[in-house]
Amino acid sequence: MNIADIINPANLVMEKTKVMNDTPMHYCPGCSHGVVHKLIGEIIEEMDIQDKTIGIAPVGCAVFAYQYLDIDWQQAAHGRAPALATAVKRLLPDRYVFTYQGDGDLAAIGTAETIHAANRGENITIIFINNGIYGMTGGQMAPTTLQGMKSSTSPTGRDIPRNGFPLNITNLLAQLEGTCYVTRQSVHTVASVRKCKKAIQKGFENSMLNKGTSVIEIVSTCSSGWKMTPADSNDWMVENMFPAYPMGDLKNI
Amino acid sequence: MSTEKKHNTEEVRLMKGNEAIAHAAIRCGCDGYFGYPITPQSEIMETLMDLEPWNTTGMVVLQAESETASINMVYGAAGCGKKAMTSSSSPGVSLMQEGISYMVGAELPCVIVNVMRGGPGLGTIQPSQADYFQTVKGGGHGDYKLITLAPASVQEMADFMVKSFDLAFKYRTPVMILADGIIGQMMEKVVLPPFTPRWTEEEIREQTPWATLGKTPDRKPNVINSLRLEAADMEKLNLVLQSRYREIEQKEVLFEEFECADADYIIVAFGITARICQKTVELARQKGIKAGLIRPITLYPFPTAQIKEYADKVKGMISVEMSAGQMIEDVRLAVNGKVPVEFYGRMGGIVPSPEEVLEALENKLIG
């Protein structure tokens, strides 16, 4: 059997979603971003909303999200994605508008924009990648970095008296009257990927129901920032991140 | 009063400059206003909220959580090809500088109204012109220029609102209306612009093919973005911006002259200060001093060539500003040492009187 026999339409069991293009990804091996991008692409294809979706990209590792998903994008200043999304959705209410943000973007520099967009109940979907570290800039401490967790700006581990507490912003967002759906997911196993996909799809659907803001936190790995192999990162995440950021729905109206 | 009725009242009205901005914005087909309260310009958002344009033209009016959020909402709206605006006063405009720089980098049109107050810091709520440098020289990071219109009357507040959107979309750039606390607060007669409908989605697709309205199968994704990782690509974007600025400098200069034809001395002043200096010119002429006035209407592009021309004809010029002397640098660059260029200004919210300007002119230029 030669390669032409193997690569044969009759043998095709799965195809990449057409909403993802062929640009090689810059994400590190083991990073969660690629999986989440794929889920968003699949949902957009399955819901047939490619011409109705506008993504807002952050500053951080996902700054290049617009290179991978074949939809219209706006790239925001650091932390400001929910402000952009607010205006886009208000002016184009029949479009699906989502932000894609990391923990530094959403929970540090963009805290005000995040909380106020959610509190106004903007009909947007916020995809929140929480890996507890600044990946793009080389592994500095993030608002969600765990107590004792090492980073390049907390080399001996996050020290509460010096650095303050990890910010559980998703819990905070669940308390706001403007949010309708707040959930915490992961993408480290096949089962968790399938659950996460359902959660993101629900967030997209909610944005057309005038119910308020949907927040999907995805507790994620950063093998490079954590200085671990991808497999070890997954184990470390389950052991250390999940107790601080437990899986499941925080709010579902 | 019904919303419909409020909109359709007389076209000729007596109102504040801030109110004129709000009325003109609705009338010129603005799609979205995003702002945060700050004195002395809060009447802009208050008037918009009172007029409820979402019930008539469909314009969105939203009170944001900060000036930072406001300008980024403007970014989002502009990215969709919408006519979006914000307004603020000096400290708030400082907060917007990041967003303005991003909008320039992403080649997005919008209108920003700055009703200036005294600074630095929290400053005063009284009028000032001390944000000239911030506006004209580029307040945010990177190489850029902002088309800047300086109204000197309530009428011009209304007129420039319309003109600013035209310029913003023509050159894909933010445009600043640089007013001050007097223009914002004083009441004058104003003829409001006629109603122009907001663009339909078809018109937006035609006018701004780069807008993010959702990717259709006939085109590639539209991406609103100011990031260029490769230096060569970043330089290319800069070259595009710079060539646009050269075109703006050639085509869009606006200024006004008063009694300049036979003048020995020329006062250069903008905004409300030009109105004051007009009186100074009259007082000077009563005393036999041949004074004239040049009022730059566009602060960028600056009427450099026009001022340069007068440098060959007069004995001296004086720049009068409500600041420590900012525009004077551009006047001196235009004059290029041919005649003395002096300065008179008041700071911190103090408004100069015509008499004290005349005294300064006599002391500094005539001696």
CB contact under 8 A, A113 and B72: yes
CB contact under 8 A, B214 and A76: no
Is residue A1 scored above 80 in pLDDT?
A: no
Across chain A, how many H-helices and E-strands are there? Answer: 11, 9
Report, as an integer, the average pLDDT of B338-348. 97
What is the C-alpha separation between B253 and B299, in angstroms, rounded? 8
Report, as an integer, the average pLDDT of B307-315. 97
Supply the mean pLDDT for chain A.
Answer: 96
CB contact under 8 A, B213 and A113: no
At B59-70, the pLDDT tens digits run: 999 999 999 999
Q: Where residue A5 falls among pLDDT bands split at 50, 70, 90?
A: confident
Quote the pLDDT of residue B5.
54
Report, as an integer, the average pLDDT of B199-226. 97
**What percent of chain A clears pLDDT 90, i.e. is strictly above it?**
94
Question: Coil, strand, or helix at residue B63?
Answer: strand
Paired tokens of A33 = 């971003």
Q: Could you give all domains of chain B from N- to C-terminal order, each with its CATH number?
A: 3-201 (3.40.50.970), 255-366 (3.40.50.920)
Alpha helices in B66-196 (DSSP H): 67-79, 90-95, 97-105, 132-136, 154-171, 181-185
Quote the pLDDT of residue B1.
46
Is residue B10 scored above 70 in pLDDT?
A: no
A50 touching chain B per CB within 8 A: yes
Is residue B130 scored above 60 in pLDDT?
A: yes
Specify whether the CB–CB gap between B181 and B153 falls below 8 A.
no
Is residue B80 scored above 70 in pLDDT?
A: yes
What is the C-alpha separation between B25 and B158, in angstroms, rounded? 8
Is residue A152 scored above 80 in pLDDT?
A: yes
What is the C-alpha separation between A74 and B211, in angstroms, rounded? 10
Report, as an integer, the average pLDDT of A1-6. 84
At B313-337, the pLDDT tens digits run: 999 999 999 999 999 999 999 999 9
A76 touching chain B per CB within 8 A: yes
Report, as an integer, the average pLDDT of B345-359. 97
Quote the pLDDT of residue A3.
86
CB contact under 8 A, B74 and A95: no
Is residue B4 scored above 60 in pLDDT?
A: no
Is residue A10 scored above 90 in pLDDT?
A: no
**What length does chain B have?**
367
**Domains of chain A: which residue ranges?**
26-252
Is residue B75 scored above 70 in pLDDT?
A: yes
Is residue B240 scored above 60 in pLDDT?
A: yes
Question: Coil, strand, or helix at residue B33?
Answer: strand
Quote the pLDDT of residue B138.
86
Is residue B238 scored above 50 in pLDDT?
A: yes
**What length does chain A have?**
253
Q: What is the ipTM of this complex?
A: 0.96
At B186-198, the pLDDT tens digits run: 999 999 999 999 9
**What percent of chain B clears pLDDT 90, i.e. is strictly above it?**
96
Q: Select the residue of A50, A80, A85 nearest B215 (Cβ to Cβ).
A: A50
Give the count of alpha carbons within 13 A of B76, CB side only.
33
Q: Where residue B6 falls among pLDDT bands split at 50, 70, 90?
A: low
CB contact under 8 A, B32 and A113: no
At A176-228, the pLDDT tens digits run: 999 999 999 999 999 999 999 999 999 999 999 999 999 999 999 999 999 99
Task: Work out the minimum CA distance from B224 to partner chain A, whole angstroms.
Answer: 5
Supply the mean pLDDT for chain B.
Answer: 96
Quote the pLDDT of residue A4.
84
**What percent of chain B clears pLDDT 70, i.e. is strictly above it?**
97
Q: Which CATH class is domain A26-252?
A: alpha beta
Q: Select the residue of B68, B80, B223 nearest A91 (Cβ to Cβ).
A: B80
What is the C-alpha separation between B311 and A157, in angstroms, rounded? 67
Report, as an integer, the average pLDDT of B108-126. 97
Quote the pLDDT of residue B9.
53
Report, as an integer, the average pLDDT of A116-138. 97
Peptide bond into B301 cis (omega under 30): yes
Name B116's Cβ contacts closer than 8 Å, sequence gap at least 6. B89, B90, B127, B128, B129, B130, B131, B178, B179, B180, B181
At B271-291, the pLDDT tens digits run: 999 999 999 999 999 999 999
